[in-house]
Amino acid sequence: MLAISVMNGLVIGVIYALAALGVSLVVGIMNVINFAHGELYILAGYFSFLFASTLGMPFAPAMGLAVALVFLFGLLIERLLIRPTYGNDMYSLILTFILSIVLQNAFLLIFGPYPNKPPLWVRGASEIFGLFSYGNQRLAALVSGAALIALVFLVLQKTWFGRIIRATSQDRAMAEWNGVNTTRLNMLSFGLGCALAAAAGVILSPVFPVTPTAGVPIALTAFVVVVLGGMGSMWGCVVGGLLLGLVENLGAAFISSGYKNVFGFLILILVLLVRPSGLFGRAKL
C-alpha cells in the first residue's frame, strides 16, 4: 500500500506541478492570476482529441499542434484582454474569470457534455518491482511531465530568454532600464503560461478525459500548489505539487479516501500557518 501510494503521489504530484508552473510563471512576471488556466488545459485536451481521434493525426504532432494553438490563443488573450488592464489586477482577474465561463460554455456547445480523450500513447499496465500493477499511460505521463518540467528549468536557467524572465520577475523597472521590452515579454510569458497548461492537458487527457467543466478543479489545484510553494516560485511549484500529491495519496491510503481533497487543504493551512508566504516565499525564479 505504501509503495503504490508513494508512486501514485509522485505521478499526481508531477502532474500538479506541471499544471501549476504556468500559473506561477504568469504570476511571477505579470502579477496576473489567470482564472481561465484550467480551461486552457481543457482546450488543449480537446484539440489533441480532435486532431488525433477525429482527424486521425499521429498523437505526437497532434499534441504539438494543440500546444502551439493554445500558445497562440494565449498571446491573443494577453493582447486583447490582459494588456488593457495593466495597472489594475482586479480587472484582469474578473476578465479571466469571465473567459473561463465563456470557454466552459463554448466547450459544452461544441464538444457536448460527454467526456472526450485522445488515444492512449501506450496501452496496458506494468508490474512495478513485482509490488503492484500500474497503467503504462500514467508512467508515460510521469516521464514526459518530468522531462517537460526539466526543460522549463533548463530554459529559465540556461538561456537568454530565461535570464530576461528571471530579471523581470526580480525587478521589472531595472529590466526595462536595461532594454527589456517588458510589454512583449508579458505577452510571451502569458502565452508560455498558457502553453504549459496546454502541455499538462495533452499529457494528461489520455489518462483523465476532458469535459467542459473539468478545468475548474485543475485550476483550483494549480492555485493551491502555487500558494503552497510560494507565489511566483517555480521551485515552489515542483515541491508544492509533489507534496500535495503525496499527502493526498498517503492520506487516502491510511486515513480515508473520502477526504482526499481535505488533506490537500489541511497541508496548505498548516504550511501557511508556519510560512505565510508559502514554502519558498517570494523566492527568485
* Distance separating alpha carbons of residues 255 and 93, to the nearest angstrom: 37
Decide whether 48 or 249 has the Cβ nearer to other proteins: 249
Cα–Cα distance measured from residue 232 to residue 275, given in angstroms and rounded to the nearest whole number: 15
Smallest distance from other proteins to CB 96, Å: 19
**Minimum distance from residue 58 beta carbon to other proteins (Å):** 18
Which residues pair with residue 133 across a beta bridge? 127
Task: Tell me which residue of 148, 121, 142 sits closest to 58, measured CA to CA.
Answer: 121
Give 66 or 234: the residue with its C-beta nearer to other proteins: 66
Task: Specify burial of residue 254 (Cβ count, 10 A radius: 0-12, 13-18, 19+).
Answer: exposed
Nearer of residues 30 and 214 to other proteins, judged by Cβ: 214
Least Å from the CB of residue 158 to other proteins: 34
**Residue 2: CB minimum distance to other proteins, A:** 10
CB of 106 to other proteins, least distance (A): 12
Question: Nearer to other proteins by C-beta: 65 or 246?
Answer: 246
| C-alpha to C-alpha distance for 279 and 111, rounded to whole angstroms | 39
Neighbours of 206 (CB within 10 A): 23
Site for other proteins, rule CB under 8 A: 1, 4-5, 8, 12, 53, 104-105, 108, 112-117, 120, 123-125, 132-135, 138, 208-209, 211-214, 217, 249, 252-253, 256-261
The Cβ of residue 196 has, within 10 Å, a number of other Cβ atoms equal to 31
> What residues have CB less than 8 Å from 124, skipping those under 6 apart?
135, 136
Nearer to other proteins, 85 or 213 (CB): 213
